[in-house]
Structure 1
Amino acid sequence: MQVLFIATQLIFASFFQNLTDTQVTENITMPIPSGFRPMTDDEIVSKYFTTKKPLVLYTDESLQVDLGVNQSVTQWAEKDVEIMASFQKSNIYNLYDDVQVISEGIKEVNGKQAAYMEFVSTIKPDENSFRDDGSIVKYTYIQYIIVGRHALVFNFTCPAAYKNEWQETAKKIMDGVSIKGKIK
């Protein structure tokens, strides 16, 4: 019986990462998996094509599992979260060759309305490329929260092969986001 209990605990532990509440900006606190660290500027540039640096980007030791927070000024009001979610969903479908939605909707996260979308995306290789690297398949949990005139985007991404290991943790991270005060 004790062997069964220990085996169950090991399996349970492999599906739930240790999370530590972390102050990621002056106004945002969220649970971060132990072992994650902020990405360096060079790592961000090598992995992500972006014109605006995220507020914060964390990664695991393997540099394959990432957690980021972005902020932008928006014309959307907090009451427009459902409309914004529809707009963002269209953007996601335009970014990838294939999107398989796992879950999506509007929920309350620590007193704020949040739109979320959980999906597996595929980017197929360029047919004209000299290299054949195969398709890139990723699991993503993305969450949008409007605060004042700012849209906050919380994004968890990992290879789709890691989805079962990280899916529950991604949900706990997103459900643990806390925003206090006004966003500057």
Structure 2
Amino acid sequence: MKYEDEKILDRLREMEKLKRSNNILAGPIIINGQSYVFEERSFFEDRLKMHVPSIFTPMPKHLQKIKYPHEQRPEMILTNDLGSVDVTLNRVDQTLQDEWVEQLTSGMKAMMKNMNPAHVFYEEKIEEVHGKQIGYFDFKSPALDQPIYHNMFYFELEGKTVMGTFCCPYKQYAEWRDVALQMIRTIQTVDEAEKEGYE
């Protein structure tokens, strides 16, 4: 009887999950038992807008050095209170045009595959977001304590390359993956924002 009760409880939880809104623009959503509100933030001297969780804050420098040990770490690293879920943005002094985004994305994925044969790759895609081409791919990487889920995305800003990442513990991948894609789909550069009267 106890087993049956547990099955019913599991089914009710599944139904509750389905009923919940997972639209980041439509109000709070529950991820891993925590409520998140998403807000539009501006980056790079207000040249870029993107919706991110309101509780995400810039990662402290001492944590950056541990989690991103390379000297060339991203310009922007926003993280949750545990430092376990991050969104990063980095401008690269490399010329980029919209029509080159697909080639850049597949080239970066191929390079990462060669360098890291242990990575497990999932989807690679180019989407048009507010008139701009954004390329992304996602993968699982091994880590010291537990595997990590990553989504790496690329787009052009003022003729240069912007590289972004979303990462979280792999065990939370199912809850965060669609949310990460929704965040990417809110990216808007200031020239597009002005053109569409977005501000």
TM-score (norm 1): 0.80
Cα contact 1:77–1:148 (8 A) shared by 2: no
Q: Deviation string for 1:66-104 (max 9, x for gaps)? A: 110011011443321121112111222134342222211
2:119 matched residue in structure 1: 99
Matched, 1:67 2:87: yes
Aligned counterparts, 1:26-175, within 5 A: 26-123=46-143, 133=144, 136-175=146-185
2:30 matched residue in structure 1: 14
In the TM superposition, residue 55 of structure 1 has moved relative to its aligned partner by: 2.4
Count of residue correspondences: 168
Please give the alpha-carbon distance, in whole angstroms, between the structure 2 residues aligned to 1:95 and 1:174. 25
In the TM superposition, residue 34 of structure 1 has moved relative to its aligned partner by: 2.7
Q: Deviation string for 1:107-150 (max 9, x for gaps)? A: 11121101110222225xxxxxxxxx56x411111110023431
- State, as a whole percentage, how many aligned pairs show the same letter: 23
CA root-mean-square deviation? 2.5
Corresponding letter in the other structure for 2:167: T
> What secondary structure does 1:87 align onto?
helix
In the TM superposition, residue 36 of structure 1 has moved relative to its aligned partner by: 1.0
In the TM superposition, residue 10 of structure 1 has moved relative to its aligned partner by: 9.2
Cα contact 1:21–1:30 (8 A) shared by 2: yes
Corresponding letter in the other structure for 1:84: L
What are structure 2's unaligned runs of at least 5 residues? Answer: 1-11, 21-28, 193-199
In the TM superposition, residue 158 of structure 1 has moved relative to its aligned partner by: 0.8
Please give the alpha-carbon distance, in whole angstroms, between the structure 1 residues aligned to 2:149 and 2:72. 23
Q: 1:88 to 1:9 in 2, by over 3 A?
A: closer
